[in-house]
Amino acid sequence: MVFNLAILIFPLLLSIAISGLSEVQKDFPEMARFDEIMKMLMQYSNVPGAQLAVAKGGQLKYFKAFGVANRENGELLQTDNIMRYNSISKVITGTAIMKLIQERKLSLNDKPFTFLQHLKPPKGATVDSRLKNITVQNLLQHTGGWDRTSTGIDILSQPATLYAAQALDLPPPPSPEDAIRFMKALPLDFEPGSAMEYSNFGYIVLGRVIEHVTGVAYGRYVEENILGPLGIRGIKLGHTQVQRRAEKEVMYYGRNGKDSLWVSIFPGEGFVNASYGNLDYSSLDSVAGWIGSAGDIVRFVDHIDGLRQPAVLGEDMVYAMLNAGMPEKRYLKGDVLFDHSKGLFVFVSVDGEGKIRSFQHRGAATGAHSFFMRLREENITWAYVLNTWPLQDEFVYIAAGNISEVARGIQNWPDYDLTIV
């Protein structure tokens, strides 16, 4: 489905009352327009709690929280609360891979399954010979050969996790290594590199590639070699079950702010709140496992290419990230935000002349939703995180249109950086 962002922008109030705003907003009243957008969007999709962060030129200019972190006790959501990033985690994984390529410890043409020969498929299984042809670039670009829409097999969730456990004679849910063992027994759906179909499994493999190359656990490598040097301490790996919530982590509220029951992915738990039982985030570290704030997302994205110093990647790696070619047959072809027509681990939007306008990524699963966008020409990066999953297809497009339009129109940006004040 293709959306025209211009026609999705809700009419903004011509005059915005600023009574009751913080002193900062009184000095910079244009920033209050972001408040109006978030309140509008939250009402639109019954969102309990949200954060929105906006940076200009690598400096965080706006960061606010709205609604509640815990509906049961009325705890208000704050900017130091953290939430699930879901698939924005893939951008962290992709950045880590590119850093290893930059350090010449890996290449885009390396064949991951040659690294993973020790992970044996179920006994008696026939392994598709094309696995050995899959490259690191294929995995980054979702062109490895798996099509979850045609097979119904997405190793993140049930029933695939149950199939894997049964095939391997192990208790569910499968570890990342066991997921790879199970998937080795399935034929590819298309020739690697010939098409692009969004693949969570490919990023499970990339996490194990990082472990193979570095000799340390995926999460530890990212924390010690990427997040730590950037001074980003708020992003961490999360877990599924409510009793394993991290400090300052919010409560999650299903879809459109409504809870539902789900048969837990963990044996013996029976029916649980779906937000706490439909995925095993511990096993999905490199796919969907990171948690943090909207401000942390913005900071991380701005550090990737050095809009905020220090840069994680050099100019050649950033160029590849944004310009690597994609096959003609691809997921969401023609979509204004998510047509992966070029690039590696981010969705790149181009104008009619092929000029890059923005890059972005979203994350969504029952209980949480996140999205970031970098407006390239304007050097603006913004992100939101929510503690529910709005199911209206329009939500992310409405948000992208409204927030980007307001950000582009600001004439008087604050002179502070909220990450250091």
Find all residues with CB under 8 Å of 17, minimum gap 6, and list them. Answer: none
Look at residue 203 in the predicted model and tell me its pLDDT.
Answer: 98
182, 164 Cβ separation under 8 angstroms = yes
Count CB neighbours of 6 within 10 A: 9
Give dist(CA 221, CA 219) in Å, integer.
5
> In terms of residue numbers, what domain contains 288?
1-421
- Please report the pLDDT score of residue 154 as a whole number: 82
Rounded CA-CA distance 9/231 in Å is 36
Q: How far apart are CA 299 and CA 399, in angstroms?
A: 20
Measured N-to-C along each axis, helices 176-183 and 200-214 cross at an angle, to the nearest 10 degrees, of 120
Cis bond before residue 187 (omega within 30° of 0):
no
Structural domains counted in the chain: 1
pLDDT at 25: 54
Q: Which own/partner pairs from 342-347 qualify as long-range (CB within 8 Å, at least 24 positions apart)? A: 343/141, 344/94, 344/98, 344/137, 344/140, 344/141, 344/320, 345/90, 345/91, 345/93, 345/94, 345/95, 345/97, 345/140, 345/141, 345/321, 346/91, 346/94, 346/321, 346/322
Maximum separation of any 2 CA atoms in the chain, in Å: 71
**In angstroms, rounded to a whole number, what is the distance separating the alpha carbons of residues 321 and 47?**
33
Gap between the Cα atoms of 414 and 300, Å rounded: 21
CA-to-CA distance for 66 and 69, rounded, in angstroms?
Answer: 9
What pTM, to 2 d.p., does this model score? 0.93
List of residues 6+ apart from 228 with CB closer than 8 A:
none
One-character DSSP codes across 340-401:
-SB-SSSEEEE-TTS-EEEEEEEEEETTEEEEEEEETTTTEEEEEEESSB---THHHHHHHH
SS3 61: strand
**Distance between CA atoms of residues 290 and 249, nearest Å:** 12
Q: Which residues contact 148 (CB under 8 A, 6 or more apart)?
A: 154, 197, 198, 199, 200, 201
Q: In the prediction, which pLDDT does 91 show?
A: 98
Residue 414 token pair: 């604050």
> Residue 153 and residue 142: Cα distance in Å, rounded?
15
Distance between CA 278 and CA 158 in Å, rounded?
7
The CATH number of the domain where 2 resides is what?
A: 3.40.710.10
- The tens-digit pLDDT sequence of the chain (421 residues) is 334 444 344 433 322 222 233 444 556 889 999 999 999 999 989 999 999 999 999 999 999 999 999 999 999 999 999 999 999 999 999 999 999 999 999 999 999 999 999 999 999 999 999 999 999 999 999 999 999 887 778 887 888 888 898 999 999 999 999 999 999 999 999 999 999 999 999 999 999 999 999 999 999 999 999 999 999 999 999 999 999 999 999 999 999 999 999 999 999 999 999 999 999 999 999 999 999 999 999 999 999 999 999 999 999 999 999 999 999 999 999 898 999 889 999 999 998 888 999 999 999 999 999 999 999 999 999 999 999 999 876 899 999 999 999 999 999 999 999 987 5
